[in-house]
Structure 1
Amino acid sequence: ASGGPMLTGGTSVERGGRTAGARAGGGGMRCSLRVWVLLGSLGLVFLTSLFFSISLRGGVGLPYLEPPGWEKSSRVKLVPNYSGVHQLGPLESTQQQKTCACPRCVGDPGVSDWFDENYNPDISPVWTRDNIQLPSDVYYWWVMLQPQFKPHTIQQVLLRLFQVIPGRSPYGSWDPARCLRCAVVGNSGNMRGAGYGPTIDSHNYIMRINLAPTLGYEEDAGSHTTHHFMYPESAKNLAANVSFVLVPFKTLDLLWITSALSTGQIRFTYAPVKQFLRVDKDKVQIFNPAFFKYIHDRWTRHHGRYPSTGMLVLFFALHVCDEVNVFGFGADGRGNWHHYWEQNRYSGEFRKTGVHDADYEALIIDSLVKAGKITIFPGK
């Protein structure tokens, strides 16, 4: 009888031992599982915070998605036929982004950040039928250069003008097989005695400004001209093979050129002007006011009321030529500012006019030289 209970008790104790052990083992497993879950959670939190931190700082560049130099190339203005080309390195960049056949090309991006950030190859320097409508900010800025009391509808004025002249741009986009060399010839007295005539005449385009006589000055200033930039009050007759580029400062200038090439009705603006103008009508071009303001905004940075005609012509060349060489800008070797065909009576007359800032424009020219975009022939 007593053995039964003992047996029973023994059996009971044995079962109790097994149950306690099982419970202890299950608790250990659950504890380990919790530890692993906790560690995994901590790891996940760490990784999440790491990626979140990286994302806040702009991310990590992946080499197969973002080529070296992508940040710099994204600021480069698009050049016709070369959009989307990234700057990879000096040699490879030159090979991939060559825009002409000259040793150095104006249009090549990646040479100067300063130049690329300001240069816009897509804006036309010529006012045409295609860009007849001016943005409102450009129009109001332009009409205030020389304000007039008589209002005109600019589109109607231009449409009448484009019945007399072609009203289109003769300039195309960059051509890697072309080397279009241009001489921008200013009127500085430093041309006198410099002997640049043959060098100037060797260019494809030779651009002159206002009076710019060549007869009698061929040895220093050259004898050929392809583009002559003038405004109504400085206009003169030109040979048949020369493009007359009108730089308009007011709507009346457009009415004048239309009249001077047809009826001859206008003889006076703010000064007497030629009633009739003998130039090749098919080669007449109108300087685009939007391009004018672009130079004022991006390049001369509002120094002076507006850029000088010399600066307008220089940047015209930088947007249509592959190579730009500059003659007859600035003072002569003695610091005098005067024209090469005149006696030096007023040596400082053209430096401080109250309209243009010659000193700031000289800094821009120096920067263009350092950027490798132009070459200056300093004269004497």
Structure 2
Amino acid sequence: MNKLATLLLIALVFYTTNFGAESKKEKKPTLVEGELKISIEDEAIEATLNITYVVKDSARASTSFWMDSAMEIQSVDGDLVKSYSFDQEAKPFATLTIDFKEALSEGEEIAFSFAYSGKPSQGFWIEEYQWVDIDPDFMILPVFSTLESFDYRIKAVVDDVNYKLIDVQKGKLTQEVEVTSVTTSYYINPILASNNQKNGVGLYDYSADGKEVRVFSEYADSARYVGDAALRIFDFFNSTFAREEPVTFCSVLYRPIPYDEHKVTRSFKPSVVFAKPHENIATLAHEISHFWWNRGDALTTEKWLTESFAQYSEMMFIRHEQGEDKFNMIIEKLADRAEKLPPLLGGDRFGRYGDDLIYEKGPYILYQLENRLGYEKFVDFMVAVNREQVATTPHLLEVLENQTSAKIRKEFEELIKR
């Protein structure tokens, strides 16, 4: 697995929706606009980005981006730009740092632009699969190293008429695409280009009871399997925790690159990039659940508010589809692992137990809460968490107390701290 894929699995955050009430308070977000030119013959890209940066912290004197170390920076321009540097050996990733002429206060804006080009170290699979993958996994597009939220609008064009761009967000094939995002910086919906005449990537449409799923795949049977599964997942989620905010459309890219080549599966409401074998519908359920579960600080174990809830939603769907016995087998494994882990909150998000806490201990704690409340009251609680756009654990505890009692809140808080 490549380094960024590992980071994304560790610091998984979703999706093209606002990150809760706190992000909605921002009057004006950072805006990234520009153009990305994809050259098939040269297997290279050229990019120009214009950024209206809104300072999130007081006394911010610089900002920085993670980028593919193979890129060459052509220019960095802006009235308040003092200097810039590109450290291709920086850890964990090559870093472009832009220094300002003076420290800026929270809420201030600064406009600057930069241009870069090169042959990316990953992303072009022309010979093997007639496929180009331009997304945050490979740092071809810059990623804010502070992982802050922003609006992202970029026009992508490809210089070979045999290649079509796959617009996963809108569910269509096109010659040019504008990629947009309102999310933390390493969750940009990807830009993908495919020579459909050679690899056979097609668009398949499935609908039932007012719901529609579009699947991009070179495999008709896989597309049908994934489409049918997604419709069932919608039925379950829309009738449980998503009943006040149902979703009736999504598109799924069933990635034709072999699984061992690119393992990251993720979602960008209303779309999913699905990289696992098509029969792994549990993972598909997890990713679709992120249309709703997309909150919590990505740099701390507060991210359990996204990943633990998505993981437990996946488990609820498994119980719904495959029965209590299968569900209980999963719970038994989680219980054994959870007992050996430190408290859920306050640990190192990127340390030894970071993933285990939010993908194992967190879901097990939610199971214990469901067991305490009963299924119906637990689902009511999940509905309320979405309604209130909960983005922190203290807020979660407030919602739980409002839905139940001070006693249950205290019991649950003890589980989190144990």
Query: TM-score with structure 2 length normalisation?
Result: 0.23
- Richer in strand (by share): 2
Query: TM-score with structure 1 length normalisation?
Result: 0.25
Q: Greater Rg, structure 1 or structure 2? A: 1
